[in-house]
Amino acid sequence: MFVVRDQSGGPFDKWLDTRGIFKNREYLRSAYTPNELPHRKDQIDQLARIWAAPLRGETPSNVFVYGKTGTGKTATVKHLMSELRKTSKDFSSAIEVVYINCEVINTKYRILANVANKLRETMQKRDPDYPKVSEHVPKTGWPTDQVYDALLETLDSVKQVVVMVLDEIDRLVVRGVDDVLYDLTCINSELRNSRTGIVGISNDLDFVSQLDPRIISRLGEEKVIFPPYDAFQLEDILTERAEMSFCDGVISDAAIRLCAAHAARKHGDARRALDLLRCSGEIAEEDSAGRVTRDHVERASERLERDMKEDAIRALPEQSKLVLLSILLLQEQRVPNIGTRDVYNVYRSLCRQNKSDILTMRRISGLISDLDMMGILEAQTVSRGRYGRRKEVELTVEPVRARAAIEDDIYIKNLDSFSDTRQSKLG
């Protein structure tokens, strides 16, 4: 049943009656995975070589895919996993892929349970007559050993190769649950019919070095590096998406080039470039403009930079905010070449003052890498010759805005008393 609207109009009329800017803005969102992945041919070839093994009936190698946010890692892996499943039908090979995001599914129990349940569901879709060899693992309540046994039973119920994609795999180290990798790397020794391989996706190139040596020795991984996009590559990507997303003639080449240039300066992040292009179009809509111009891009860049970083800081967990505040205080004291140990010393003082738990330096190094990945700071590993290497950090957000976002939390208190004493602490 349709309702006739009053002719006086409604709240959406202003936006529905103006000239359209977008044909379909969904093509500018990170959730969209294109059929073609520009400027990633070398990485696709490397991964295809590695993943051809199960098509030949061989055990797949473990693969680690590295690169900063927005370099196409996850999109490429998902695309190739889809192709692997399709191709396996021509080889009469049973190949299944299970995707887990370790940022969301972040405990040993939940990882094992999700792999078991997703695999079981996929196998039943493939073969309705597939025997239910194991129960659906509940979200909680079972001993971890029982969950592992359920996974083993599901894996070995038929002859197959199972690829486990662990996105944001470095989060397992930060959260102290990387022991699940030991179980997953040992699992082939307990299987008779099946074989498994791990695909780890990480923003942290140093991730593997932080693992337990027992895990490292079992991984035997191959590495594929995704470098940041440069401005010309980003321009190609944006031009292709703009043709799909915008109405004809509403966006200039100059606006696209400027979006690419902004994103290229921010670690070559294609995701950021797409967000910037979409936001520029939305600002043009707000202005009731007929075209997206360079001015819209500049305003969109300021809006995204401000909103994204401040929102990200406000959403940080307590320990990450304490780390960020430590760096902020060090910069306010004009401490040069701020290293992880400098940050850790101030962090411990803040924890004592605010009665917070003190994490290990290894965990703090992981949190610094997370903040770097989010663009809140820049962390670079610097060689010091015979004195080894160390990570040096610098904020990329305005100190006043960072402090304001941090101080929104009630637990950050007595900053003035810390400021009075921090010089002696730093000395």
Average pLDDT over residues 154-171: 90
Question: For 90, phi and psi rounded to 5 degrees?
Answer: -75, -20
Q: State how far the alpha carbon of 427 is from the alpha carbons of 114, 199, 259, 327, in Å.
A: 49, 45, 44, 15
- Annotation-wise, does 239 bind a ligand? no
Count of C-beta atoms within a 10 Å radius of residue 394: 14
Residue 32 lies in a domain: no
- Annotation-wise, does 73 bind a ligand? yes
- Annotation-wise, does 72 bind a ligand? yes
Average pLDDT over residues 123-128: 77
CA dist., res. 203 & res. 169, Å (int) = 9
- pLDDT grade, residue 424 (50/70/90)? very low
Average pLDDT over residues 7-19: 56
Residue 1 lies in a domain: no
CATH of residue 283's domain is 1.10.8.60
- Annotation-wise, does 425 bind a ligand? no
Helix axes 73-90, 41-51, angle to 10 degrees: 40
- pLDDT grade, residue 274 (50/70/90)? very high
Domain holding 212, by residue range, is 41-225
- Annotation-wise, does 388 bind a ligand? no
Domain boundary among the residues 177, 208, 225 is at 225
At 385 the pLDDT is 65
129 or 392, which is more confident: 392
CA dist., res. 373 & res. 296, Å (int) = 26
Domain boundary among the residues 253, 286, 313 is at 313
At 375 the pLDDT is 78
Average pLDDT over residues 303-322: 81
Same domain, yes or no: 84 and 172: yes
- Annotation-wise, does 241 bind a ligand? yes
Residue 334 lies in a domain: yes
Query: Where is mean pLDDT largest: 70-84, 116-130, 174-188, 364-378?
Result: 70-84
- pLDDT grade, residue 388 (50/70/90)? low
Question: For 261, phi and psi rounded to 5 degrees?
Answer: -65, -45
For 371-385, letters b (16+ CB in 10 Å) and e give: bbbbbbbebeeeeee
- Annotation-wise, does 69 bind a ligand? no
DSSP letter for 49, please.
H
- pLDDT grade, residue 384 (50/70/90)? low
Decide: 134 and 154 in contact? Cβ < 8 Å: yes
Residue 302 pLDDT greater than 60, yes or no: yes
At 366 the pLDDT is 87
Half-sphere exposure of 413 (CA within 13 A, CB side): 7
User: How many domains does the chain contain in total?
Assistant: 3
Q: How far apart are the first and last CA of the chain?
A: 74
Residue 34 lies in a domain: no
At 46 the pLDDT is 94
